[in-house]
Amino acid sequence: MTAPKPGFSQLRLEGVTRRFGSQNALSDLDLTIEAGEFIALLGPSGCGKSTALNCLAGLLPLTGGSIWQDERRIDVLPPERRGFGMVFQSYALFPHMSVRANVAFGLRMRRLPKQEIRRRTDEAIRLVRLEEHVDKLPGQLSGGQQQRVAIARAVVLEPSLVLMDEPLSNLDAKLRLEMRTEIRRLHQSLGLTTVYVTHDQEEALSLADRLVVLRAGAVQQIGSPQELHTRPANWHVADFMGYRNLWPMRVQAAQAGEITVEADGLRLVGDPVGQIAAGDQVVAAVRPEDVRVDDPHATTNTVPAEIEVVEYQGRELAAEARNDAGLRVHVRTDKRIAPGDRVTLSIDPRRLLVFPSDSVERPAAGLADAAEPGTLREPRLVP
């Protein structure tokens, strides 16, 4: 077995497709990864992100498409010949081997000289700060420590690509934040090209240089964290990026750069994303933190509403309000509000994104039957 080439300048996925039976788990993924990049594959469970990662690792054969490392086609190689490091969701540490033996495993498989194995293993263990635990078995370590062993085991080979499959999802909230910083620190100091799979948009935004949002096996959007955060390509991505307010509406008037939408007597001005004409069904989206409460300067997009539920979240309050027509609005504010308060909500027209509504689905957070405000509603599908 020969060690893989230490580096590459580009990794290209061309039309990568994976079918399970008749179902497309991943269809036609095109992606070019530059050396040193940190890419996050983001999406809800079942969107195909783990499938994509397993295809990259060689653990799942492709149904279609190809993967190229510079001019070398690698999708035909078995996993052990690709030289990629992988960190699994369950860590997949070898339970019968000590921490040191786990980390040294890949080097031993490469038949490197004993001294070099020793040196690089020690170095990797130091990197993840597990020096005191080298002789323990994985079962004697905490979840966070196991995760660090898994990371050390993957990076000790200095792989041309590191694949991480939801590595933080089994950790508690505090540890998750710590490990997130750790992973970012490792990436900054080692510069390893990384593909990171997660369903947590916050994790993806904070770690990645570039995000790939997947939904039902198809790419929705590829972009920098800023692009995804401020300008989602469609309402599904918006939904995923924290736009909790998604209202099905109808376009009244469309001008360049400004659009007026309406639903049940509520009229809002927003910023259109994509081609939208008057009369279209659309989805208006806004983040809870972009809905202001009782702003004295607000003149457009004001909505009188009543606060229904308030959650304390440290410096801010997260609240759910409802306007007279029954429209539910998620709000984040540092104003002191309480359930039952009458408030005036306002939305900056530049922060209200208006997406074309795709024909099949529309968001569930729609309007209540105005006759019975306050009752729970089934998500409604508009044909």
Residues that bind other proteins (CB under 8 A): 1, 57-59, 78-80, 82-86, 88, 90, 92-96, 105-106, 109-110, 137, 139, 153-154, 157, 163
Distance between CA atoms of residues 207 and 72, nearest Å: 29
* Residue at 53: amino acid letter: L
Rg of the chain's alpha carbons, rounded to an integer?
Answer: 25
Distance between CA atoms of residues 86 and 240, nearest Å: 26
Distance between CA atoms of residues 102 and 85, nearest Å: 13
Cβ nearer to other proteins, comparing 103 with 321: 103
* Residue at 332: amino acid letter: R
Cβ nearer to other proteins, comparing 44 with 79: 79
Q: Is beta strand 162-165 parallel, antiparallel or unpaired with respect to 85-87?
A: parallel
Q: How far is CA 59 from CA 14, 17, 50, 53, 157, in A?
A: 18, 14, 11, 9, 18
CB-CB neighbours of 265 under 10 Å: 11
Cβ nearer to other proteins, comparing 12 with 110: 110
- CB of 84 vs other proteins, minimal distance in Å: 6
Q: What is the DSSP string of 225-274?
A: HHHHHH--SSHHHHHHTT--EEEEEEEEEEETTEEEEEETTEEEEEEE-S
- CB of 92 vs other proteins, minimal distance in Å: 4
Nearest to 42 by CA among 170, 167, 198: 198
Please identify which residue in the block is written with the tokens 């300067």.
297
CB 207 within 8 A of CB 180: yes
- CB of 47 vs other proteins, minimal distance in Å: 21
- CB of 129 vs other proteins, minimal distance in Å: 21
- CB of 94 vs other proteins, minimal distance in Å: 6
Distance between CA atoms of residues 288 and 37, nearest Å: 31
- CB of 210 vs other proteins, minimal distance in Å: 23
Cβ nearer to other proteins, comparing 112 with 266: 112
- CB of 187 vs other proteins, minimal distance in Å: 18
Distance between CA atoms of residues 378 and 358, nearest Å: 20
Cβ nearer to other proteins, comparing 96 with 380: 96
Cβ nearer to other proteins, comparing 107 with 254: 107
Q: What are phi and psi of 349, to 5 degrees?
A: -55, -25
Cβ nearer to other proteins, comparing 97 with 218: 97
Residues forming a β-bridge with 344: 304
- CB of 105 vs other proteins, minimal distance in Å: 5
Cβ nearer to other proteins, comparing 104 with 284: 104
Cβ nearer to other proteins, comparing 8 with 84: 84
- CB of 151 vs other proteins, minimal distance in Å: 12
Nearest to 247 by CA among 281, 294, 213: 281
